[in-house]
């Protein structure tokens, strides 16, 4: 019985999700198969030493396009990905941080739009500050979940996060009081 549920769940592509918000995010953002207008130019400008893959950067583009945030805070090592995020949301102010100054960078933004973390530990270290500066919809994107599963399990239990998506090695957290709490697990981008 359990295996049958897992098999069905892995193949539903979000059609078993009851929340309209979560379903739309899964269908229109995470699993979007139609190429966006900017993909061709962005792929041409990629360098061989990019940290994130093309699929990951295109997911970041779609999230930025969805959120239309005023600010995006991201790790300095993601500079290549910033082209995708700024193409997805042309009005966003992008700021980079290092592990030493993540808290100071978050402190300067009010309210927070999108905050990207390269490690789950960085989220835990700045969570209280982040929660004090959230806007109507703050999105946290966390990479490298598989390197710290124990920290990711702590984040999964956090009731301050409204909606959470677990996509293999990536976590997407929505902090929005208007959303009903939910946890969604996805096997991949497409």
- Kindly write down the DSSP assignment for every residue of 15-59, as one continuous string: TT---HHHHHHIIIIIT--SPPTTHHHHHHT--TT-SS-HHHHHH
Report d(CA 4, CA 12) in Å as an integer.
12
In this prediction, residue 15 has a pLDDT band, given cuts at 50, 70 and 90, of low
Q: Which two tokens stand for residue 75?
A: 């790790």
> Nearest 10 degrees: CA dihedral of 173, 160, 183, 85?
-10
pTM for this entry: 0.86
Report d(CA 116, CA 172) in Å as an integer.
9
Report d(CA 99, CA 97) in Å as an integer.
7
Cβ–Cβ under 8 Å, residues 26 and 13: yes
Report d(CA 92, CA 95) in Å as an integer.
10
Q: Which residues make beta-bridge pairs with 138?
A: 175
pLDDT, average across residues 95-114:
89
Top-confidence residue, 178 or 85: 85
Top-confidence residue, 186 or 13: 186
Q: pLDDT digit string (tens) for 113-156?
A: 999 999 999 998 898 888 888 877 899 999 999 899 898 888 88
Cβ–Cβ under 8 Å, residues 61 and 104: no
**Quick check: 78 pLDDT over 60?**
yes
Tally of CB atoms within 10 A around 1: 5
Q: The domain 53-186 is classified under which CATH number: 3.40.50.10490, 3.40.50.720, 2.40.440.10, 3.40.50.150?
A: 3.40.50.150
Q: What is the pLDDT of residue 185?
A: 63
């Amino acid at each position: 019985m359990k295996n049958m549920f897992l098999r069905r769940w892995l193949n539903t592509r979000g059609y078993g999700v009851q929340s309209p918000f979560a379903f739309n995010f899964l269908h229109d953002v995470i699993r979007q198969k139609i190429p966006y207008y900017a993909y061709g130019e962005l792929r041409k400008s990629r360098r061989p030493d990019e940290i994130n893959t093309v699929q990951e950067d295109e997911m970041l583009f779609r999230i930025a396009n969805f959120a239309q945030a005023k600010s995006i805070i991201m790790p300095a090592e993601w500079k290549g990905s910033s082209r995708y995020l700024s193409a997805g949301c042309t009005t966003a102010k992008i700021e980079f941080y290092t592990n030493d100054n993540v808290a100071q960078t978050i402190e300067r933004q009010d309210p927070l739009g999108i905050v990207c973390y390269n490690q789950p530990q960085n989220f835990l270290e700045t969570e209280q500050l982040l929660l004090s500066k959230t806007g109507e919809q703050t999105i946290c994107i966390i990479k490298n979940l598989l390197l710290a599963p124990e920290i990711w399990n702590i984040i999964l239990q956090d009731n301050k996060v409204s909606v959470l998506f677990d996509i293999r090695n990536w976590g997407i957290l929505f902090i929005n009081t208007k959303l009903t709490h939910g946890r969604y697990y996805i096997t991949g981008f497409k």
